[in-house]
Structure formats: structure tokens, C-alpha cells
């Protein structure tokens, strides 16, 4: 247990479904992130939230919609995904955006 909890651990969804990924941290961190990890690719930064404000949207398609209601919780809302969106989605948090991150265990997403 790293202090960053992601649910669910595994998710299979159809292309017409709507689902949400949840991330929670009680480390007192101010910044939270979503990363996408696909096979044979580097970790791709998707979104950055600093003090609940989105400071980075790394050209992510609109079918991914983040939400940060407070500094401890981060969501990733998914709708009309494509099979190529299948990947491990990792949440992370940190005290500052240039400090070491603490990652969750990820949600393994499969789009069918």
C-alpha cells in the first residue's frame, strides 16, 4: 500500500459504456496526476491538478474527462472509448509538481 489508492484494479468496458476511475490519497499532497501506460511505450502524462486546479492537459482526447473535487480525490471519467485506449491508468500524487511522485497500483482498462 503506497498511500495512493486506485479503484477499480481491473475494468472491462464496451465502447459505448461510461465508467469512472477513482484515485484517493491521504498523504497531504497538493498535486495529483493521471498517467497512461501502454505496452512498449513510456508513461504518458495525461492530466495534472495542482491545488485542485487543472494545470496540464497533455492533448488528451475529450473522451477522457478528469475531475478533482478536492486535493485528496481525483477521478477520470471515460466515455465512448476505443480499443486503443486499453492500458494501465496510473494515478500519482506529490507535494510539488517537480518532487518525487507516489503512484497508485493502477487500473488495468480493457476496451472491447
Partner 1 sequence: GQQLNQSPQSMFIQEGEDVSMNCTSSSIFNTWLWYKQDPGEGPVLLIALYKAGELTSNGRLTAQFGITRKDSFLNISASIPSDVGIYFCGYSGGGADGLTFGKGTHLIIQP
**List of residues contacting partner 1 (CB under 8 A):** 2, 4, 6, 31, 33, 40-43, 45, 48, 50, 55-56, 90, 92, 97-106, 108
66, three cell numbers: 478528469
CB of 49 to partner 1, least distance (A): 10
Q: What angle do CA 65, 111, 78 make, to 5 degrees?
A: 15
Q: What is the rounded CA–CA span in Å between residue 93 and residue 31?
A: 5
21, three cell numbers: 476511475
Q: Which residue number, 2 or 82, has a Cβ lying nearer to partner 1?
A: 2
- How far the first Cα of the chain sits from its last, in Å, is 30
CB of 10 to partner 1, least distance (A): 10
Q: Which residue number, 41 or 62, has a Cβ lying nearer to partner 1?
A: 41
CB of 102 to partner 1, least distance (A): 7
Amino acid at each position: 500500500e503506497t498511500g495512493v489508492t486506485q479503484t477499480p484494479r481491473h475494468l472491462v468496458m464496451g465502447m459505448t459504456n461510461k465508467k469512472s476511475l477513482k484515485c484517493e490519497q491521504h498523504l497531504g499532497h497538493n498535486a495529483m496526476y493521471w498517467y497512461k501506460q501502454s505496452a512498449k511505450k513510456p508513461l504518458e502524462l495525461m492530466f495534472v491538478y495542482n491545488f485542485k486546479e487543472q494545470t496540464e492537459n497533455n492533448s488528451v482526447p475529450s473522451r477522457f474527462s478528469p475531475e478533482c473535487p478536492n486535493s485528496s480525490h481525483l477521478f477520470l471519467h471515460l466515455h465512448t472509448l476505443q480499443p486503443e485506449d486499453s492500458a494501465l491508468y496510473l494515478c500519482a500524487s506529490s507535494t510539488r509538481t517537480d518532487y518525487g511522485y507516489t503512484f497508485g497500483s493502477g487500473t488495468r482498462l480493457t476496451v472491447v
